[in-house]
Structure 1
Amino acid sequence: MPRTVFNRLYRAIEGEGFFVRRKDALSRGGIHPLQRVVAAIRMLAYGAAADSLDEYLSMSEDSVLQSLKSFCSTVIQKFGIEYLREPNEADLRRILAINAARGFPGCAGSIDCQHWQWKNCPIAWAGQFKGKERKPTIVLDAICDGELWILHAFFGSPGSLNDINVLDRSPTMERIIADEFPPSIPYTLNEKQRTMPYYLADGIYSSWAIFMKTIKDNTAKKEEAFAKAQEAIRKDIERAFGNDVSNVMVACIILHNMIVESRRDNYQSVMASLQHFSEARAMFAAGQSFTMVSSRHSRITSKVDHFSLKRDLIEHIWNAHGSV
């Protein structure tokens, strides 16, 4: 974590509720807010046990745990609106431009699920939270862009569900089907005009128009080139991965996005030449009929459109990079 991000966190949190230095019964200064912030970040960063920090920070186990819980809830309160918002039109144009430069026009990010072990899961709930991992887990469904900024996160599904079952419960997928998200931005692929963005996914996802999977049994050189490119770009999401557990996860996502934002100035963005974006505006119409939603659902889940998009991507990547 860069020092600038840490200082920003500390300035925002210092003096808030639990992060106030109080005097004890002997009028001596108690635990400094800086100690509490360092303890919380150290636990999040290294997975350190609370009782392992007593000598390093001169704090008891209970104080460290209270600091962690208060830190997570305060970070969500202070930075949640800014760092957990969904992409607007300007954000999506930037993401599409970055992925177009990487060989995937129309790609809005990579999607995947990650299972997190729930060590203290109640025995009565263990069955529904156990899946292929053989241990109780909680699922994080996430979408990230090429900069590793987490665009969408859905956390809390039981580990007995696979990626598709989790997707069926995702609020973002509901908004996509309702045509409320993402904004419709036209792009050209293989000399064809398209408006529906797509996400790179692994093989378990359905062959829908909004998902683009790799080709496992590729025999032609064009398909092999496409598979290598898709798998390389999709690694973005691999790199990016009770109420208290949920707050810890959400706080970690906010901190992750803050660090990504702080590093943007350290490299040359492919969007540097585009200095102005249109203002974000409401793109969605209220009160859609069942017929409209059903039609949108059919477009999203269309296998015909999925394979048509895949053929165009194969040709595009081959024409751009096939001879390299």
Structure 2
Amino acid sequence: MAFVVNGNEYNLAYYLTDGIYPKWATFIQSISLSQDEKASLFATNQEACRKDVERAFGVLQARFAIVKHPALIWDKIKIENIMRACIILHNMIVEDERDGYTQYDVSDFAHPESASSSQVDFTYSTDMPSNLGNMMATRTRLRDRTKHEHLKADLVEHIWQKFGPIQA
């Protein structure tokens, strides 16, 4: 899964986290002591997005007991199937509930290519390295602190370019 941020290509997905996680290429923490406007804007946006994700998981945990408990004994395929089933069921329930109390034509507000804001969509990979050498290489890539710093700087700049003050 490759993506481009601020003109630079990255090949690992990243997760929005709080300060307790290590500075690895796949964990992006907020900036606790923002030194400038760019860092402050990034921190505000990162924290808002992270809270949205936590809220989505909270909704799933409240609705489905199977999501609430540790899944360490299951293999990744089973976890993936369970999560997909819960997300699909949740989205079906949301649609059913929405249809029951909507008094206006929502098609005026809907974007055909986007899902409802209350629906949850997760994409993740369950690919496993085939040997120890691949596992060690993957571990090294995940723990790359330099990649972490580059991605974070690129995300700060991207957020600034997208949401920062309008230049005259």
TM-score range for the pair, normalised by the shorter chain length: 0.5 to 0.7
Match of 2:158 among 316, 319, 322: 316
Q: How does 1:236-275 map to 2 (within 5 A)?
A: 236-239=52-55, 240-241=57-58, 249-250=65-66, 257=87, 258-263=89-94, 268=110, 271-272=113-114
Q: Does 1:288 align with 2:133?
A: no
Aligned with 1:316: secondary structure? Answer: helix
Q: Deviations over 1:135-155 (max 9, x none)?
A: xxxxxxxxxxxxxxxxxxxxx
RMSD: 3.2
Q: Deviations over 1:219-251 (max 9, x none)?
A: 11100000000000001233232xxxxxx7207
**Shift of the alpha carbon at 1:321?**
0.5
Give the structure 2 partner of residue 189 of structure 1: 5
Q: How does 1:134-149 map to 2 (within 5 A)?
A: none
CA distance in 1, matches of 2:29, 2:42: 10
Q: How does 1:287-306 map to 2 (within 5 A)?
A: 288-306=130-148
CA distance in 1, matches of 2:112, 2:9: 22
TM-score (norm 2): 0.62
Aligned with 1:306: secondary structure? Answer: helix
Give the structure 1 partner of residue 37 of structure 2: 221
- In structure 1, stretches of 5+ residues that fail to align are 1-184, 242-247, 274-281
**Shift of the alpha carbon at 1:190?**
0.5
Give the structure 2 partner of residue 307 of structure 1: 149
Show structure 1 runs of 4+ deviating over 2 A: 251-257, 259-273, 282-285
Match of 1:210 among 14, 17, 26: 26
1:201–1:264 CA distance, 2 compared to 1 (3 A): farther
Aligned with 1:219: secondary structure? Answer: coil
Aligned with 1:188: secondary structure? Answer: strand
CA distance in 2, matches of 1:198, 1:261: 28
- In structure 2, stretches of 5+ residues that fail to align are 59-63, 69-81, 99-108, 116-124
Aligned residues: 125
CA distance in 2, matches of 1:250, 1:233: 24
Q: Deviations over 1:130-186 (max 9, x none)?
A: xxxxxxxxxxxxxxxxxxxxxxxxxxxxxxxxxxxxxxxxxxxxxxxxxxxxxxx22
CA distance in 2, matches of 1:204, 1:270: 39
Q: Does 1:233 align with 2:49?
A: yes
1:228–1:284 CA distance, 2 compared to 1 (3 A): closer
Give the AA of the match of 2:24: W
Larger RCO of the pair (alpha carbons < 8 Å, separation 6+): 2
1:261–1:302 CA distance, 2 compared to 1 (3 A): farther
Aligned with 2:160: secondary structure? Answer: helix
TM-score (norm 1): 0.34
CA distance in 1, matches of 2:44, 2:145: 22
**Shift of the alpha carbon at 1:269?**
5.5
CA distance in 2, matches of 1:313, 1:269: 26
Give the AA of the match of 1:263: V
Q: How does 1:54-65 map to 2 (within 5 A)?
A: none
1:228–1:263 CA distance, 2 compared to 1 (3 A): same
Q: Deviations over 1:236-268 (max 9, x none)?
A: 233232xxxxxx720778796323344369674
